[in-house]
């Protein structure tokens, strides 16, 4: 505790060097949460610029801006940066800021490891981005880096890509261990697991997923490294290996990974909707069990990404039905959010707008996912823009909108100032329109047969691609408004009161979970023996 307190008071009193070193050496969960959030925002803008290069190229048929090779590098880097650099670090940043405060802990359980797990990331991503300037160029094999494209036919920079992936994995594992230990060991006295806010629950489950699957990713990139440099043949048919083995190992990591990118979002939305509906969350227990069910099922459906590789029919049937089963707990969640809003005294401040948009658009993404689970249909959808539309509907209005909702919702708590509500709503509507104009038409061109990851396309796809590209630029540039709003809020503005959201509880989390035995504003009454 004394270290935490010292750290708090070291803040601003020792000139510029001390100011910089405060951020480099900090073990304070709020500082580290802030670092994660700024880092993820920089990566979001970086990956976003790459997406805009892709959409500018696809604005009309023919080759406009870039050579096909560079187009492939952009699709690869965009995916890797958005998944590992933008979405995941943002959620870890939110966990750092909020989990200790929500469970009444003084800090994260392992503060020095917390600092280390952040500072690995800038080096990992600098290395990944540096491959753009290497001989042979950046990785060009897609964010799923299927062998043999990523082994036998990869540019020389693939080795640096592998090292960068290892570093990201190490960071994720350390961050997750920290979250688990903090939640299990540092809860306020009297707070049982079923008293925790749902954001804490979703992160506890997410952390277990990360600890389980990150070593699998490390394994698959290590096997790639061996194939490239040490003469093994894990993924080379010529040496007795199998390229499909790569897909199995990758997706055994990759499918839980996509849930890692959405579970914390469920927690955020479960905190925001009750606040602005002014009602307790409907069905808290069922939300916890639904989250755990989704996490469990995420491990046993991986091969639905590989229906076209020539699986036995029994395998296809199993993975089809198991995948459809995920719709059940997900449906429970959507029902509970709708029931929470039902007959609530709703107001639509910016966080609520993002949260409601999340529920509607994430559901659309879930329904297209259900379509993709149907094996004979998937044979047609596979590797078309329909798949791109599907996963962007869960990742952009899903993960990204929830992160933005969280930023608006907790900014007053973090900064002590209110953000500009008018600008916030403007940002929401620009983003909402931009996202839908970008990704909804991709369902159509996908169903019409346009394959993904090509820089050129047949003439009949031109109109919808033009619409899609216009939407992408609207969405992309509206994020500069978000940056302005956040900086403006940090710099000053109307002071936030103790009860930030009028009519809502002061401690937002008390209504996103069962009423605790106490409000934690006064110490709980403890049994005699535990006072010792």
pTM: 0.91
Check: CB of residue 199 under 8 Å from CB of residue 406.
no
What are the phi and psi torsion angles at 371 (to 5°)?
Answer: -60, -40
Burial class (CB in 10 A: 0-12, 13-18, 19+), 100: buried
Q: Tell me 67's DSSP state.
A: -
* pLDDT score, position 56: 97
> Could you tell me the fold of the domain covering 262-517?
Cytochrome C Oxidase; Chain A (1.20.210)
Quick one: which of 123, 148, 111, 103 has its CA closest to 3?
Answer: 111
To the question of domain 23-255 being in CATH 4.10.910.10, the answer is no
CB contact at 8 A, 301 and 326: yes
Whether the CA torsion 61, 65, 67, 70 is positive or negative: it is negative
User: What is the C-alpha radius of gyration for the chain, rounded to an integer number of angstroms?
Assistant: 23
Q: Output the CA torsion 446→450→456→461 (10° steps).
A: -80
According to the model, what pLDDT value does residue 19 have? 82
Alpha carbons 531 and 191: distance in angstroms, whole number: 16
Containing 47, the helix (H) or strand (E) segment is helix 29-57
* Nearest Cα residue to 294 out of 322, 319, 268, 270: 322
Handedness of CA 106, 110, 116, 117 (dihedral sign): negative
Backbone angles phi, psi at 384, to 5 degrees: -110, 175
> What is the pLDDT, as a whole number, of residue 1?
41
Structure tokens at 429: 């509507």
Residues serving a catalytic function are 78, 107, 143, 171-172, 255, 257, 259, 270, 304-305, 330, 333, 452
Q: What are 208's two structure tokens?
A: 């277990």
Q: What is the tens place of the pLDDT at every residue in 228-242?
A: 999 999 999 999 999
Q: Which residues of the chain have a pLDDT value below 50?
A: 1-14, 503-524, 526-527, 529-532
Q: 440 Cβ partners below 8 Å, 6+ apart? A: 389
Residue whose C-alpha is closest to residue 399's, from 222, 169, 206: 206
Domain boundaries, the chain: 23-255, 262-517
- With beta carbons less than 8 A apart as the criterion, state whether 412 and 500 touch: yes
| Confidence (pLDDT) at 519 | 44
Say how many C-beta atoms besides its own lie within 10 A of residue 377's C-beta. Answer: 14
pLDDT at 502: 59
Buried b (16+ CB within 10 A) or exposed e, 240-257: ebebbebbebbbbbbbbb
| Digit-coded pLDDT (tens) for 447-468 | 999 999 999 999 999 999 999 9
Q: How far apart are CA 516 and CA 193, in angstroms?
A: 11
How many CB atoms sit inside 10 A of residue 379's CB?
Answer: 11
Sign of the alpha-carbon dihedral angle for 78, 473, 458, 377:
positive
Domains 23-255 and 262-517 share a fold: yes
What is the rounded distance in angstroms from the CA atom of residue 2 to the CA atom of residue 486? 32
Q: Per DSSP, what are the bridge partners of residue 495?
A: 417
Render the burial of 381-392: b for 16+ CB within 10 Å, e for the rest: bbebbbbbbbbb
Name the token pair of 83: 């998944």
């Amino acid at each position: 505790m004394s270290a935490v307190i010292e750290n708090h008071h070291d803040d601003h009193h020792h000139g510029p060097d001390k100011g910089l070193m405060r951020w480099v050496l900090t073990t304070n969960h709020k500082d580290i949460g802030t670092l994660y959030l700024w880092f993820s925002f920089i990566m979001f803008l970086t990956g976003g610029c790459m997406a805009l290069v892709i959409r500018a190229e696809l604005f009309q048929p023919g080759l406009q801006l870039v050579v096909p090779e560079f187009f492939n590098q952009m699709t690869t880097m965009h995916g890797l940066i958005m998944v590992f650099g933008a979405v995941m670090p943002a959620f870890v940043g939110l966990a750092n800021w909020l989990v200790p405060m929500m469970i009444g802990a003084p800090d994260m359980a392992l503060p020095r490891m917390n600092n280390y797990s952040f500072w690995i990331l800038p080096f990992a991503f600098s290395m990944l981005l540096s491959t753009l300037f290497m001989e042979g160029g950046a990785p060009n094999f897609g964010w799923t880096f299927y062998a043999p494209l990523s082994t036998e036919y990869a540019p020389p920079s693939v080795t640096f890509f592998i090292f960068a992936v290892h570093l990201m994995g190490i960071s994720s594992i350390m961050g997750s261990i920290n979250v688990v230990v903090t939640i299990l060991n540092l809860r306020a006295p009297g707070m049982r697991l079923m008293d925790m806010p749902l954001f804490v629950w979703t992160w506890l489950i997410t952390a277990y997923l990360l600890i389980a699957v990150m070593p699998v990713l490390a394994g698959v990139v290590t096997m790639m490294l061996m194939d490239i440099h040490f003469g093994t043949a894990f993924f080379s048919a010529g040496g007795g290996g199998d390229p499909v083995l790569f897909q199995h190992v990758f997706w055994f990591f990759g499918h839980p990974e996509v849930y890692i990118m959405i579970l914390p979002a469920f927690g955020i939305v479960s905190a925001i909707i009750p606040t602005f509906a002014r009602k307790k969350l409907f069905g808290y227990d069922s939300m916890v069990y639904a989250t755990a069910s989704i996490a469990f099922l995420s491990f046993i459906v991986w091969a639905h990404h590989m229906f076209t590789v020539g699986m036995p029919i029994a395998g296809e049937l199993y993975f089809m039905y198991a995948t459809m089963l995920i719709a059940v707990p997900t449906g429970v969640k959507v029902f509970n959010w709708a029931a929470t809003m039902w007959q609530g005294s709703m107001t639509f401040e910016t966080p609520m707008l993002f949260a409601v948009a999340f529920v509607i658009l994430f559901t659309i993404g879930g329904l297209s996912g259900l379509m993709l689970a149907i094996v004979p249909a998937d044979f047609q959808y596979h590797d078309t823009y329909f798949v791109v539309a599907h996963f962007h509907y869960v990742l952009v209005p899903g993960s990204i909108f929830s992160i933005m909702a969280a930023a608006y919702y907790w900014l007053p708590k973090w900064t002590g100032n209110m953000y500009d509500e008018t600008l916030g709503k403007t940002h929401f509507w620009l983003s909402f329109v931009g996202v839908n104009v970008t990704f909804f038409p991709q369902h159509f061109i996908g169903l019409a047969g346009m394959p993904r990851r090509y820089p050129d396309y047949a003439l009949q796809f031109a109109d919808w691609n033009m619409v899609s590209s216009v939407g992408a630029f609207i969405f992309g540039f509206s994020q500069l408004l978000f940056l302005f709003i956040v900086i403006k809020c940090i710099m000053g503005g109307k002071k936030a009161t103790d009860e930030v959201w009028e009519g809502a509880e002061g401690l937002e989390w008390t209504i996103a979970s069962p009423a605790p035995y106490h409000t934690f504003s006064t110490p709980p009454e403890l049994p005699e023996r535990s006072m010792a």
